[in-house]
Structure 1
Amino acid sequence: MSNDEAYFIGVDVGTGSVRAGIFNRNGLLVEYSEKTIQTQNLAEDFYEQSSQEIWEAVVLSVREALKLSRIDSTNVRGIGFAATCSLVCLDAKGKPVSVSPYNNDDYWNVILWMDHRAVEQAERITATGHRVLKYFGNKISPENELPKILWLKENLANNFKRVEHFMDLCDFLTFQATQSTTRSLCPLVCKSGYLASEQQKTEQQKSRLDDTSGWDETLLQEIGLNELVKEGYRRIGIQVAPPGASLGNGLCETAAMELGLKVGTPVGCSMVDAHAGGVGILGASKEQNTLCENKEYLYEKFEERLAMIAGTSTCFMASSSKPVFVPGVWGPYFSAMIPNMWLSEGGESATGKLLEFIVTNHCQYPFLAQLASEKNLHVYEILNYVIFLLSKEPKMTPEQVVSRIQSISASVMKQQMNDVFTHSSLGEIKETKNNDTKLCGEDFSLKCLQLTKNIHILPYFHGNRAPYADPTLRGMISGLGMDNSVIALAKLYFATLQALCYGARHMVQVLNEAGHRIQMIYLCGGGMASNELFLEQLSDSVGCPVVIPVQSQYSVMRGAAMLGAVASSYFSSLPVAMEAMSSVQQIIYPKGQESLVKRHHDHKFQVFLRMYSDQIAYRNIMGQSL
Structure 2
Amino acid sequence: METHSCVNNFGVMDEAHYVGVDVGTSSVRAGLVKRGGHMLAIHTVPITVANPATDFYEQDSEEIWAAVCQAIKVVTSGLSDKSVIRGIGFDATCSLVVLDHDFRPVTISPHTGKVNFNIIMWMDHRAKEQAAFINSQQHKVLKYVGGKVSLEMQSPKLLWLKGHMEDTWNRAAYFLDLPDYLTLKASGSLSRSLCSVVCKWTYQCDGSTQGWDHSFFKSIGLEDLARDNWKKIGQKVVAPGTSCGVLTAAAAEQMGLVRTTQVATSIIDAHAGGLGLVATQATTSDDFVGRLALICGTSTCHMCVSKDPIFCQGVWGPYLSAMVPGCWLNEAGQSASGSLVDHIIKTHPAANKCTTGKSVYQWLEELLAVMAKEEKLSDPTLLTRDFHLYPDFHGNRSPIADPTMKGMISGLTLDASDRNLALLYLAAIQALAYGTRQIIEQLTSSGHNITSLLMCGGLSKSPIFSQTHADALGMKVLIPQAQAPVLLGASILAAAASGDYPDVTTAALAMADTAPSCLPHQELTRYHDHKYQVFKKMQADQEAYCQLMLNE
Give the TM-score of the pair, scaled to structure 2. 0.96
Matched, 1:22 2:55: no
Residue number among 81, 87, 93 corresponding to 1:78 in the alignment: 87
**Is 1:257–2:253 an aligned residue pair?**
yes
Q: Which of 548, 555, 558 pairs up with 2:479?
A: 548
Q: Which amino acid aligns with 2:137?
A: T
Deviation at 1:3, TM superposition (A): 9.0
Q: Which amino acid aligns with 2:503?
A: S
1:452 aligns with 2:384: yes
Task: Report the equivalent of 2:435.
Answer: 503
**Residue 348 (structure 1) aligned to one of 327, 334, 349:** 334
Amino acid at match of 2:116: Y
Structure with a larger share of its residues in helix: 1
**Separation (CA, whole Å) in 2 of partners of 1:491 and 1:145:** 38
Q: Unaligned 5+ residue runs, structure 2?
A: 1-11
1:33 & 1:165 partners in 2: Cα distance? 30
Q: Secondary structure at the match of 1:106?
A: coil
1:481 corresponds in structure 2 to: 413
SS of the equivalent of 2:204 reads: coil
Mapped partners of 2:112, 2:413: distance in 1: 43
What secondary structure, in the 3-state scheme, does the structure 2 residue paired with 1:267 have? Answer: strand
TM-score (norm 1): 0.85
- Tell me, in whole angstroms, the C-alpha distance in 2 between the residues paired with 1:387 and 1:102: 43
Query: Which of 395, 407, 410 is the aligned partner of 1:463?
Result: 395
Structure whose CA Rg is larger: 1
Aligned 1:410-425 pairs, distance under 5 A: none
Deviation at 1:190, TM superposition (A): 0.2
Q: Is the 8 A contact 2:336 2:393 kept in 1?
A: yes
Residue 531 of structure 2: aligned partner: 604
Cα distance in 2 for partners of 1:17, 1:535 equals 24
CA distance in 1, matches of 2:520, 2:36: 30
The Cα shift of 1:230 comes to 3.1
SS of residue paired to 1:166: strand
Report the structure, 1 or 2, having the larger strand content: 2
Instruction: Encode CA deviations 1:333-380: one digit per residue, 9 max, x unaligned.
Output: 111111111111000000010000001111111121xx14xx3x2101
- The yes-or-no answer on 1:564 pairing with 2:494 is yes
Match of 2:364 among 380, 383, 386: 383
| CA distance in structure 2 between the aligned counterparts of 1:560 and 1:273, rounded to whole angstroms | 8
In 1, Cα distance between equivalents of 2:434 and 2:164: 38
Structure 1 distance, partners of 2:227, 2:76, is 45
Cross-structure match for 2:9: none
Q: Please say if residues 86 and 110 of structure 1, whose CA atoms lie closer than 8 Å, have aligned partners that are also in contact.
A: yes
Q: Any conservation in 1 of the 2:353–2:418 contact (CA below 8 Å)? A: no
Q: Does 1:55 align with 2:65?
A: yes
Residue 180 of structure 2 corresponds to 171
User: C-alpha separation between the residues in 1 aligned to 2:23 and 2:85?
Assistant: 20
* 3-state DSSP of counterpart to 1:103: coil
Find the aligned partners of 1:45 and 1:104 in 2 and give their Cα distance.
17
- Conserved in 2, the CA contact under 8 Å of 1:549 and 1:582? no
Indicate which of 310, 316, 327 corresponds to 1:330: 316
In structure 1, the gaps of 5 or more residues are: 202-212, 287-291, 396-442
Distance 1:559 1:71 in 2: 25
Q: Work out whether 1:135 is the aligned partner of 2:144.
A: yes
Shift of residue 488, structure 1, vs aligned partner: 1.1
Check whether the contact 2:294–2:302 (CA below 8 A) recurs between aligned residues: yes
How far apart, CA to CA, are the structure 1 residues paired with 2:374 and 2:113?
58
SS in 1 for 2:116: coil
Deviations 1:163-193 (A, max 9, x none): 1110000000000000000000001000000
Q: What pairs up with 1:354-393 in 2 under 5 angstroms?
A: 354-368=340-354, 371-372=355-356, 375=357, 377-393=358-374
Shift of 1:550: 2.1
Matched residues in 2 for 1:103 and 1:513: separation? Answer: 46
Q: State the shift of 1:4 in Å.
A: 4.8
Shift of 1:28: 2.0
SS of residue paired to 2:262 = coil
Counterparts of 2:321 and 2:79, CA distance in 1 = 37
Can you list the C-alpha shifts for 1:52-78, whole angstroms capped at 9, x where unaligned? 0000000111101112x3453111111
Match of residue 300 from structure 2: 314
1:232 paired residue number: 229
Q: Does 1:621 align with 2:551?
A: no
AA of the residue aligned to 2:263: V
Q: How far, CA to CA, are the matches of 2:115 and 2:321 in structure 1?
A: 34
Asked whether the 8 Å contact 1:133–1:140 carries over to 2, the reply is yes
**Contact between 1:550 and 1:582, CA under 8 Å: does it hold in 2?**
no
1:576 shift after superposition = 1.5
Structure 2 equivalent of residue 434 of structure 1: none
Quote the sequence identity (%): 43
Kindly provide the amino acid, as one letter, of the partner of residue 361 in structure 1.
T
**Residue in 1 aligned with 2:170?**
161
Figure out how many residues of one structure are paired with residues of the other and give that number.
541
1:579 aligns with 509
Report Cα offsets for 1:515-560 as digits up to 9, x if no partner. 011100011112x1211111111101011100111212x2111111
Structure 2 counterpart of 1:243, which letter? P
Q: Shift in Å at residue 26 of structure 1?
A: 2.3
Q: Quote how far apart the aligned CAs of 1:585 are.
A: 2.8
Q: State whether structure 2 residue 131 is matched by structure 1 residue 122.
A: yes
Q: Which runs of 4+ in 1 moved over 6 A?
A: none
Rounded Cα–Cα distance in structure 2 between residues aligned with 1:7 and 1:384: 39
Cα RMSD (Å) of the superposition? 1.4
Aligned pair partner of 2:217 in 220, 229, 248:
220
Paired amino acid for 2:309 = P
Task: Give the whole-Å Cα distance in 1 for the aligned partners of 2:147 and 2:493.
Answer: 31
1:347 alignment partner AA: G
User: Structure 1: how far apart are the matches of 2:363 and 2:527?
Assistant: 25
- AA in 2 matched with 1:90: L
Is 1:40 paired with 2:50? yes
